[in-house]
Homo-oligomer: A and B are copies of this chain.
Amino acid sequence: MALTSRQLEILTFIQEWVRERGFPPSHGEVAERFGFNRNAAREHLLALARKGEIELSPNDARGIRLLKESPPRQFELPLFGNIAAGSPITAPEHAREWLKIDPELFRPRADFLHRVDGDSMIDAGIVSGDLVAIHHQSEAANGEIIAACLLDRRTGYESITLKRYRRRGSKVTLEPENARYEPLVIDLAREADVQELPSFRIAGVMVGLLRQGRS
């Protein structure tokens, strides 16, 4: 049986409510949202139940179950910007936004996304604006693309850049994938003593890429 436009409005409201809060609204909350009586809300719910859209559990507060499109609560991944103050830059609180994407889509699991800025990795097929999926780990194998976390000692700000990682002894090379850019060389031994060079740590390794757009 087809829904009226009013009933569809109410069904949509319930679906959104469940997605945002994890539990269904009460009669009163439906009524408040649409500016009508609690009993009107109840009758709408009964109508939606008659039409097979929802199931009502009698006498139970918020006893609404969505039947058709099971509320698609999805996995989400935090997207981080380039710069953040303090430690650690990849804490969930610093997330700019959350994208609905299953972390298990990547192997190993992705822990966060990082938006690429610039063309320094273009020869690896990574263009500006791409979202790189990162698995959080503090070590990497030679040749892997990593999210490197660089600390500017003067300002105290951390920034994340994508680079290909190579290490020989205490010398770490962060290589761009673009002939027009120079590799960054960091000596971990010197780093330990002197406090002048930008400190560096591995935020994670690249496990995938997401591009949103037509080109």
Contact = CB atoms under 8 A, between A and B. Distances in A.
A23 B72 CA distance: 14
Contacts of A73: 70-72
A117 interface: no
A107 interface: yes
B145 A215 contact: yes
Contact of A125 (B22, B23, B210, B211): B211
Given A100-B102, A100-B104, A126-B125, A22 B64 contact: yes
Interface of chain A, main secondary structure = loop
Contact of A70 (B74, B127, B210): B74
Interface of A: 21-24, 26, 55, 57, 60-66, 70-75, 99-102, 104-107, 122, 124-127, 130, 144-145, 205-215
Number of copies: 2
A102 B74 contact: yes
Given A107-B212, A207-B214, A66 B125 contact: no
Nearest to A63: B23
Contacts of A206: 214-215
Contact of A65 (B21, B125, B127, B211): B21
B215 A208 contact: no
Given A72-B74, A100-B102, 17 more contacts: A21-B57, A21-B63, A22-B24, A23-B62, A23-B64, A23-B65, A62-B62, A70-B73, A70-B74, A72-B75, A74-B102, A99-B105, A105-B212, A124-B215, A207-B212, A208-B210, A209-B210
